[in-house]
Chain A
């Protein structure tokens, strides 16, 4: 049972490069989320998807894009990376967007933009 997987585990990227962070879940959860976590700050929502085929903007969406072509996958793309996007990125999923449902987190991707 994998739960949520993310790839790569870590990456060092030159500024201006394009990068896609991968996220896959095998729990058949409807909702998926991308967060970034920076020292001294809470997790901040970048983008979310309540169900396959739909996406929405979170608190800090600028510079990022997502797609949700199917239930399992929710890739996050940085079109042209900048140093301020250096962070730890967590993908999460929940059975439904509302109600009680807890969010399950992937192991994270540590991204450094130079």
Chain B
């Protein structure tokens, strides 16, 4: 079967750095997405990786290792507004997104 694993919840301190991991087992791979979802709101796109390596976008970076079925989202200089759930999704061989359950990130002052 297809499976996306992420930690359920993480806590970090304002101004710090946090890494959210995602491991996947899917039928085929056509890219990995990270989305942010604030409570009660819709998911919004953060990043996309299709080749191995690091993609940097401001305070957020995303890393992919296809051979290990592994990705992480790195958030730097954490702000209170970064408190949200972070969703990892893999596009499979049918070009459909398979979603992880999300990681709830709690930022403390």
Contacts and interface: CB of A to CB of B under 8 A. Distances in A.
Contacts of B99: 35, 42-44
A42 B42 contact: no
A43 B6 CA distance: 14
A35 B95 CA distance: 15
Contacts, number: 44
Contact of A102 (B45, B50, B102): B45
Interface residues of B, number: 22
Interface stretch (A13-21, A65-73, A75-83, A104-112): A104-112
> Considering residues B30, B41, B96, which has the most beta carbons from chain A within 10 angstroms of its beta carbon?
B96
Interface in B32-46: 33, 41-45
A45 B96 contact: yes
Interface on chain A toward B: helix, strand, loop, or mixed SS? loop
A103 B87 CA distance: 13
Contact of B101 (A41, A58, A90, A103): A41
Interface residues of A, number: 20
Interface in B1-37: 4, 30-31, 33
Interface of B: 4, 30-31, 33, 41-45, 48, 50, 87, 89, 91, 95-102
Interface of A: 35, 40-45, 48, 58, 90, 97-98, 100, 102-108
